[in-house]
Amino acid sequence: MFVVNSAEMQEIDRIATEEWGIPEIVLMENAGLKVVEEIKKRFTNLKDKKITLILGKGNNGGDGLVVARHLCNLGADIKIFLFGQKEFKNSSLVNYNIVKRLPIKVHKLEHENNLHLLRLSLYSTDVIVDGLFGTGFKGEISDFLSKIIKIINDTDCLKVAIDIPSGLNADTGRARECIKANLTVTFALPKIGLVVYPGTSFAGDVKVVDIGIPSQLVRALNIDKRILQLDEIKNNIPERDENCHKGNFGHLLVIGGSLGMMGAVHLACLSAFRMGAGLVSAAIPASIQTNLAVSLPEMITYPLKEMVPGILDSEAEEEILASIEGKSVIVIGPGFGNNEEYVSILKHILEKIDIPIVIDADGINLLARDISILDNIKAPVILTPHPGEMARLLDISTQEVQKNRIELAKKLAENYGIWVVLKGNKTVIATPKGEVLINPTGSPSLATAGSGDVLAGMIGAMLGQQSDETRAICSAVYLHGLAGEHVAETVGKISSKAGDIIKAIPIILEEVLMDK
């Protein structure tokens, strides 16, 4: 499903009305009706339900006037509070003139003297409908408006946002102050602000509804942002017939590990097996080779020479390059260590290989020491940073990364011709072609040590089974999120550990493949 920013949605609306000839008032009527439909689903009967609409005087408020009219026809007790000094125009004015003829009380919200009546009305209301601002809102929240928002948020009832919660930036998901909706009914396509954090915490349950904009119109715009959906993930997982063998499903090499960090490699390798990798090998310091081999006997191990336990010798670089022979995918970084001497190992690997390589954890920290290493790559490269690692790569703060996740991931991917998997709430996947894919799955249960190692192994395994890198990455990220949701339901969001995520992989794979 495509996802759009405010400018793209405005262009879609413009083309629909000006070029396709769909009257604005038709789209407004459809929008209002869809909001009413969603409200009706939450009540057995709307007769005598007290519903308060708080509306601005733009098109978002016009949609709200349609909602008010139809709810009134269903027998609901309707009150409207209008915010703003300007007057209704065009289709919104038509709907306002109709509403004035109905038994609907309309009050103004122009100064603080009006707030007492608003509080009284909301005290006994069953539903609040927010139609203050639409997707184009970029302004500042005034002190007066801030008080309105606080009164709304302090009211204990169902809060329904029309298109987007008022105060939320449709492009970034950020908000200084915002109405906290239980339900957002958004039109035609989801907006970025509704599907990324912190916008998700304001939007509640998001319903994307059709208001009559032709799908051909949307497809013609070549929108480069999408939300991943289960159906496409199902089709990305290759079928296995009776004649298959381990060589059909890739040979993954994990390069990493150090004293005290053996577990990172173990988790990456075990998750790769659970994700269907045919063969999994690990190139690790000799001092941890025996313990790692015992912990996962299905794995092939390559012990690397060390200067001292935990620190690789200069000869280890040639041993790593030799271990890459015959492999189909590489994961480098889990538990590897961030020694400056290892930068040259990463550099020489990237100069000489042409198979996909996932750079994770300490591999990203090494890259942050000299990101110009990416200037001369010939292999498909996938970076999997969490926000802190992304900040080190770009030499900015973590807060800056979190404020602009989509654009930063997209820019990094395009600049170096790589894939960027920016982990976090609603993981962002950016491709070399400028496409952005947003993952809707996941849970706080994934916020645990080793979760990233599990994901790196899953991505590596999928790259060995799926020739299309983007499809492989998306599948692993989506399924990793589903595994996290399963863990949240069975173990809990608080008590989870990385091993629980790995145990969930076969379960969610079976569920997904059963519906294929």
Q: Check residue 311 and give its pLDDT.
A: 87
Tens digits of residue pLDDT in 430-447: 999 999 999 999 999 999
Tell me the pTM. 0.93
Mean pLDDT, rounded, of the chain: 95
Annotated binding site for AMP: 423-427, 452
Best mean pLDDT range from 230-234, 373-377, 503-507:
503-507
For the stretch 49-61, pLDDT in tens is: 999 999 999 999 9
If one compares 1 and 501, the residue with the highest pLDDT of the two is: 501
Phi/psi for 500 (5° steps) reads -65, -40
Q: What is the DSSP letter of 168?
A: -
pLDDT for residue 150? 97
Rounded Cα distance between 452 and 261, Å, is: 14
- Within 51-178, residue ranges assigned H as helices are 59-73, 90-99, 115-123, 143-153
d(CA 84, CA 516): 52
pLDDT value, residue 516: 64
List strands edge to edge, sheet with 50-55: 105-109, 77-83, 50-55, 127-131, 158-162, 183-187, 205-209
Q: Cβ neighbours of residue 166 under 8 Å, at least 6 residues apart?
A: 56, 60, 130, 131, 132, 133, 137, 149, 178, 179
- Strand-pair partners of 51: 78, 127
Cβ–Cβ < 8 Å for 163, 185: yes
Q: For residues 314-343, give the mean pLDDT.
A: 95
**Of the candidates 389, 340, 339, 388, the residue with the CA atom closest to the CA atom of residue 360:** 389
- Phi/psi for 165 (5° steps) reads -60, 135
What lies within 8 Å, CB to CB, of 124 at 6+ separation is 50
Could you give the residue ranges of the DSSP H alpha helices within 353-404?
362-369, 387-394, 398-403
Query: Within 10 A of 449 (CB to CB), how many other CB atoms are there?
Result: 11
pLDDT at 203 over 80: yes
Tell me: pLDDT of 32 over 80: yes
Binding residues for (6S)-NADPHX: 59-63, 134-140, 163, 264, 335, 386, 453
Kindly provide the b/e burial profile for residues 423-435, where b requires at least 16 CB atoms within 10 angstroms of the residue's own CB: bbbbbbbbbbeeb
Q: Which residue has the tokens 């608003």?
A: 118
Q: Is 190 helix (H, G, I), strand (E, B) or coil?
A: coil
Sequence letter at residue 214: P
Report the run of H or E that residue 129 belongs to, with start and end.
strand 127-131
* DSSP per position, 446-457: G-STTHHHHHHH
Structure tokens at 325: 């022979």
Residues at the binding site are 59-63, 130, 134-140, 163, 166, 264, 335, 386, 423-427, 452-453
Task: Say whether the peptide bond before residue 297 is cis (omega within 30 degrees of 0).
Answer: no
Give the model's confidence band at 472: pLDDT under 50 very low, under 70 low, under 90 confident, else very high.
very high
Per the DSSP assignment, residues forming a β-bridge with 53 are: 80, 129
At 82-111, the pLDDT tens digits run: 998 889 999 999 999 999 999 999 999 988
Q: Read off the pLDDT of each residue in 136-148 and give the average, rounded to a whole number.
A: 88
Q: For each of the domains in the chain, give its residue range(s) and CATH number, in order of start.
A: 6-223 (3.40.50.10260), 230-514 (3.40.1190.20)
Strands 306-308 and 311-312, how do they pair? Answer: antiparallel
- Is the model's pLDDT at 405 over the cut of 80? yes
The annotated binding site for K(+) is made up of 60, 130, 166
Q: What percent of the chain is predicted at pLDDT more than 70? A: 100
